């Protein structure tokens, strides 16, 4: 059985409607032959007109192997394209189209981000290969903020570039001679007087250290650190090396208590570290001088003199040779130091220790003096550069101004602080006492 539905069509000539013999839809129930007779390709069971948009009744589709006819689908204002552009779509083919140029694209604002991005001219393939363009200078890294104050390494470097004048050299020599005479007089009195002098010198040196850190913005427990540093050589002379860990423990404990009870209230972790650093750096290393006196008594004075002479020889050799022949910078931590000065200081340290230090007891032989000079020549520049590194980080030229021509005590004894432990171990190695 076949059920058919007629559709109305509009006559092209009169515009009147009439029933068409064409069938809009077909439902076939049984009978395969009926389907073949009625159904024609190209018909839509839903649309009101033919598949190709024409109403001429010829809705047959060509076979897929047939060449194209060149016909295009008819469109009107109700076509779906009008909802997008308001105009009919244009299909390009191989034919040239007159006045078919894309309008120039311009940016409304030349300073807009879009202009910077899309307006970039990448026509030259070698753009990224041109490496000689001048770039803007980048600012240096900013040091630690409010906790560090306003000190800077640049200011420290600017303050250390001046050459040593003849008057400065004479002032340095005079100050050094005065220190040497005071030390010899004290050593002549005996070990106890020497220990008192050591405690006084270390206390003043660590006070300079804390003052420099405060200028850089730190807030250490300075009073506590000064007392601990001055007490350490006295305790070591009295109880020997066993007193050193006890003093360090008390320093750490009371530094934390200092901030716990509110005496210090700014950055406890940072400032406790600075406090303990001062005690270890100045107090612990410097107290090896008192340890020599505690272990060897009067002979300890001779051992201590060996350390002082070796350190002074390094400083003098480095200064003289560096001024005369210094060409190659040694370290960014100390711009004025040179490789030539380092070699000259180390050489003079070994020579003086071998020839002069071996002349008094308990060193005795040139071999002992040579070994002392060899190790001191390694330790002294480490101590010298370490203090320069700290000063540069703090943004200061000198730790203090107590010694004319030298700066502070810590500036004068920076190399000696590292030579003292080495000298103690060398003396133990040879069992000099």
Q: What is the pLDDT of residues 143-172, one digit of tens each?
A: 444 444 444 444 444 444 445 566 677 888
Residue 139: per-residue pLDDT: 46
3-class SS letters over the chain: CEEEEEEEEECCCCCCEEEEEEEEEEEECCCHHHHHHHCCCCCCCCCCCCCCCCCCCCCCCCCCCCCCCCCCCCCCCCCHHHHCCCCCCCCCCCCCCCCCCCCCCCCCCCCCHHHHHHCCCCCCCCHHHCCCCCCCCCCCCCCCCHHHCCCCHHHHHHHCCCCCCHHHHHHHHHHHHHHHHHHHHHHHHCHHHHHHHHHHHHHHHHHHHHHHHHHCCCCCCHHHHHHHHHHHHHHHHHHHHHHHHHHHHHHHHHHHHHHHCCCCCCCHHHHHHHHHHHHHHHHHHHCHHHHHHHHHCHHHHHHHHHHHHHHHHHHHHHHHHHHHHCCCEEECCEEEEEHHHHHHHHHHHHHHHHHCHHHCCCCCCHHHHHHHHHHHHHHHHHHHHHHHHHHHHHCCCCCCCCECCCECHHHHCHHHHHHHHHHHHHHHHHCCC
Residue 309: per-residue pLDDT: 95
Domain residue spans in the chain? Answer: 1-51, 153-430
Q: What is the pLDDT of residues 10-27, one digit of tens each?
A: 454 445 555 555 544 555
Q: What is the pLDDT of residues 104-127, one digit of tens each?
A: 555 555 555 555 555 555 554 444
Residue 118: per-residue pLDDT: 54
Residue 331: per-residue pLDDT: 85
Residue 349 has pLDDT above 90, yes or no: yes
Residue 161: per-residue pLDDT: 43
Cα–Cα nearest to 286, from 368, 227, 219, 200: 200
Rg (CA), the chain: 48
Q: What is the pLDDT of residues 178-230, one digit of tens each?
A: 888 999 999 999 999 999 999 999 999 999 999 999 999 999 999 999 999 99
Residue 117: per-residue pLDDT: 52
Stretch 235-251: mean pLDDT: 94
pLDDT band at 242, cuts 50/70/90? very high
Q: 338 vs 158, which has greater pLDDT?
A: 338
pLDDT band at 69, cuts 50/70/90? low
Residue 73 has pLDDT above 80, yes or no: no
Question: 168 vs 163, 179, 206, 277, 284, CA distance in Å?
Answer: 10, 17, 25, 31, 32
Cα–Cα nearest to 416, from 241, 292, 261, 262: 292
Residue 246 has pLDDT above 90, yes or no: yes
Stretch 62-91: mean pLDDT: 59
**What proportion of the chain, given as a percentage, has pLDDT over 70?**
62
Mean pLDDT rounded to a whole number for the chain: 76
pLDDT band at 71, cuts 50/70/90? low
Stretch 324-332: mean pLDDT: 85
Task: Give φ, ψ of 184 to 5 degrees.
Answer: -65, -40
Q: Minimum mean pLDDT among 68-72, 245-249, 274-278, 389-393: which range?
A: 68-72
Give dist(CA 51, CA 59) in Å, integer. Answer: 7
Q: What is the pLDDT of residues 256-287, one digit of tens each?
A: 999 999 887 778 999 999 999 999 999 999 99
pLDDT band at 333, cuts 50/70/90? confident
Q: Please state whether beta strands 329-331 and 334-338 pair in parallel, antiparallel, or not at all (unpaired).
A: antiparallel
Residue 417: per-residue pLDDT: 96
Cα–Cα nearest to 412, from 315, 332, 334: 315
């Amino acid at each position: 059985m076949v059920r058919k539905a007629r559709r109305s069509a509009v006559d092209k000539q009169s515009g009147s409607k009439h029933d068409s013999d064409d069938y809009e839809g077909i439902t076939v129930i049984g009978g395969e032959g009926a389907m073949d007779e009625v159904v024609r390709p190209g018909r839509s069971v839903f649309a009101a007109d033919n598949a190709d948009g024409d109403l001429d009744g010829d809705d047959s589709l060509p076979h897929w192997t047939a060449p194209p006819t060149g016909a295009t689908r008819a469109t009107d204002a109700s076509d779906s394209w009008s909802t997008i552009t308001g105009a009919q779509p244009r299909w390009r083919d191989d034919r040239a189209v007159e006045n078919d140029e894309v309008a120039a694209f311009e940016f409304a604002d030349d300073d807009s981000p879009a202009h910077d991005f899309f307006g970039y001219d990448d026509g030259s393939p070698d753009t990224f290969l041109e490496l000689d363009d001048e770039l803007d200078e980048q600012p240096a890294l900013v040091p630690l903020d409010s906790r560090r104050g306003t000190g800077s390494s640049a200011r420290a470097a600017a303050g250390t570039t001046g050459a040593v004048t003849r008057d400065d050299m004479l002032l340095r020599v005079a100050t050094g001679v005065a220190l040497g005479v005071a030390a010899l007089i004290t050593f002549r009195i005996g070990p106890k007087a020497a220990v008192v002098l050591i405690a006084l010198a270390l206390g003043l040196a660590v006070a300079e250290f804390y003052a420099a850190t405060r200028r850089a913005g730190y807030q250490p427990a300075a009073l506590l650190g000064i007392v601990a540093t001055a007490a350490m050589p006295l305790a070591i002379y009295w109880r020997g090396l066993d007193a050193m860990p006890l003093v360090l423990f008390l320093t750490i404990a009371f530094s934390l208590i200092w901030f716990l009870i509110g005496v210090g209230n700014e950055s406890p972790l940072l400032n406790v570290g600075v406090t303990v650093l001062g005690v270890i750096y100045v107090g612990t290393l410097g107290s090896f001088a008192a340890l020599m006196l505690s272990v060897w008594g009067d002979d300890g004075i001779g051992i201590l003199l060996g350390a002082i002479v070796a350190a002074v020889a390094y400083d003098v050799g480095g200064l003289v040779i560096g001024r005369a022949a210094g060409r190659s910078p040694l370290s960014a931590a100390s711009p004025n130091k040179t490789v030539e000065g380092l070699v000259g200081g180390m050489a003079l340290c070994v020579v003086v220790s071998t020839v002069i230090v071996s002349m008094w007891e308990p060193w005795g032989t040139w071999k002992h003096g040579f070994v002392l000079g060899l190790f001191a020549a390694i330790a002294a520049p480490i101590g010298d550069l370490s203090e320069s590194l700290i000063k540069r980080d703090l943004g200061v030229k000198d730790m203090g101004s107590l010694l004319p021509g030298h700066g502070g005590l810590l500036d004068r004894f920076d190399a000696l602080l590292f030579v003292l432990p080495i000298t103690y171990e060398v003396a133990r190695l040879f069992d000099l006492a």
